[in-house]
Amino acid sequence: MKKALTYLFIAAVMLFSSCQKDTTSQYLTLGKGTSEKWFEPIPYGMVYIPRGSYTIGPNDDEIYEPSPAKTVSTEAFWIDDTEITNNEYRQFVYWVRDKKARELLGQTYNDFLITEDKYGAPLKEPEINWEERIEWNDPDYQMAMDELYLPEQDRFNYKKEIDTRRLVYEYYWVDYKQAAKRSNSFNFETQKYEGSVVNEKGELVPIENRSSFLMRESVPVYPDTLVWIRDFTYAYNEPYTKKYFSHVGFDDYPVVGVTWTQAKAFCNWRNGLRSITSERFNETPAHDFRLPTESEWEVAARGGMHNNMYPWGSYYTRNVNGCFVANFKPLRGNYVADSPSTTTTMRGGEFDPNPYGVYDMAGNVAEWTSSAYYEAGYNTINDFNPEIQYNARPDDPPVMKRKVVRGGSWKDVAYYIQTATRTFEYQDTTKSYIGFRCVRTSFRDELSKQ
């Protein structure tokens, strides 16, 4: 009897072990070059916003708006701790200027173009040599770059200056919204696409191949410095027009006078700044920089608190000492009541951050978001990563070109700096009180550690 039980036990063990061997062979092993120790570095100057469930929209104590409060869930993301500054945006403008200059110089001087790869093989298209130094005061260089300068009839006091109208940034982006339409799917039976797509010119054209979903953008990048005069009738703001963007004294002030399309172009340019040397071998590329969705902006502004009227969590715009806690228009024409050091914008981060560590989500400058503006937007959006996007065509009516603007600005009363207040501006307009900041979807979760 004991011997029979022993055999039965051995047979059971063999059966179990054989099953284990069979099942392990069904699992995929880690591929070659896969790293188990990957982690997402903290992007410089950005703050982490954890994934979670949030309530967006006005609460019962706020002025009624067409869009009611709504509970949504969003993925984790990074957001700039301050608005994009003049110094940061100026780097973008200088990059576009230098690229154009090197292209022109390359037509005369071969040192500004790379025509061979590292093995000596000729390239299909010459590449710009960013290592070669540009001597801006060299008369020969200036002659080669003549197209980049203002023509003689446009110069003041015969001064040779860069023609900012020539500073145009060109980039491509994939229109996933159109690519995702069932009618635009690839037909494996006919081996072709059978749908139509709206191209960057607003024309409805048949889909020829995958490149039909690739959109080309050409965006003049220099800010509209005349907004300081245009926005305020019967006011003397010429000093801001002349110096606000160009002078180093305003380096840390938020950039203004940029359109929604210029803000998007900056985000695209910023994606190319990732240093290859900082990325380890086989490291997963980070998500792209982009404008925040309206819901992401509000989630970041609330700082993890629910039903708070302002980013600092209070129902008031003053602290316990009676001091204003944001840069806005607190009293009738008294623009210095909140900060004696300035009447308009101020350096980013002058006031305390919200609980997430984000500065100036109320006041200073209002901010572009990626979302299209509809009065009843909250009744339409999904409750998971909510967003309403619309790529307005050139011939669309103005109402289709409205984009959500959030946060209020230095010239707005307290209502507009509340976290739930929604307003809009047209995507091709510029204002002296609208700037932007970038976000980036995160790979991390709340419990991950660096």
Does CATH number 3.90.1580.10 belong to domain 44-85+223-450? yes
Domain ranges of the chain: 44-85+223-450, 95-156, 168-220
58 against 81, higher pLDDT: 81
The answer to whether 427 and 391 are in contact (CB under 8 A) is no
Supply 27's token pair.
């699992």
Beta strands (DSSP E) in 142-249 are: 168-174, 186-187, 192-193, 196-198, 204-206, 214-220
Structure tokens at 411: 């010239």
pLDDT grade, residue 10 (50/70/90)? low
pTM of the model: 0.88
Confidence (pLDDT) at 163:
95
pLDDT band at 33 (very low <50, low <70, confident <90, very high): low
Per-residue pLDDT tens digits for 362-389 = 999 999 999 999 988 888 888 899 999 9
Q: How far apart are CA 37 and CA 34, in angstroms?
A: 9
3-state secondary structure of 434: strand
**Nearest alpha-carbon partner for 49 in 305, 352, 389, 407:** 305
Mean pLDDT computed over every residue of the chain: 87
- The beta-strand segments (E) located in 19-148 are 46-49, 52-56, 70-74, 77-80, 113-116, 122-128
Residue 371, pLDDT score: 96
Q: Looking at residue 31, what is its pLDDT?
A: 57
Average confidence (pLDDT) over 12-19: 49
Inform me whether the pLDDT recorded for 71 exceeds 60.
yes
Q: Please, which pLDDT band fits residue 26 given cuts at 50, 70 and 90?
A: low
- pLDDT given at position 13: 47
Q: What is the mean pLDDT of residues 392-412?
A: 93
Strand stretches in 189-336, DSSP E: 192-193, 196-198, 204-206, 214-220, 289-290
Alpha-carbon distance of 150 to 157, in angstroms, equals 12
| Residue 449: pLDDT band with limits 50, 70, 90 | very low
> Does residue 29 carry a pLDDT above 70?
no
CB 116 within 8 A of CB 126: no
Instruction: Say which range, 53-67, 184-198, 311-325, 339-353, has the weakest mean pLDDT.
Output: 53-67
Q: What is the pLDDT of residue 81?
A: 96
Count of beta carbons in the 10 Å neighbourhood of residue 88: 20
For residue 164, what pLDDT is reported?
95
pLDDT digits (tens, 9 = 90+) for 208-225: 999 999 999 999 999 999
- Residues paired with residue 206 on neighbouring β-strands, in sequence order: 196
> What mean pLDDT do residues 141-163 have?
90
- Residue 82 pLDDT class (50, 70, 90 cuts): very high
Q: Where are the alpha helices (DSSP H) in 108-187?
A: 139-144, 176-179
Quick one: average pLDDT of 250-279? 86
Backbone angles phi, psi at 56, to 5 degrees: -115, 155
Conformational region of residue 149, where left means phi above 0, alpha means psi within -120 to 50, and beta covers everything else: beta
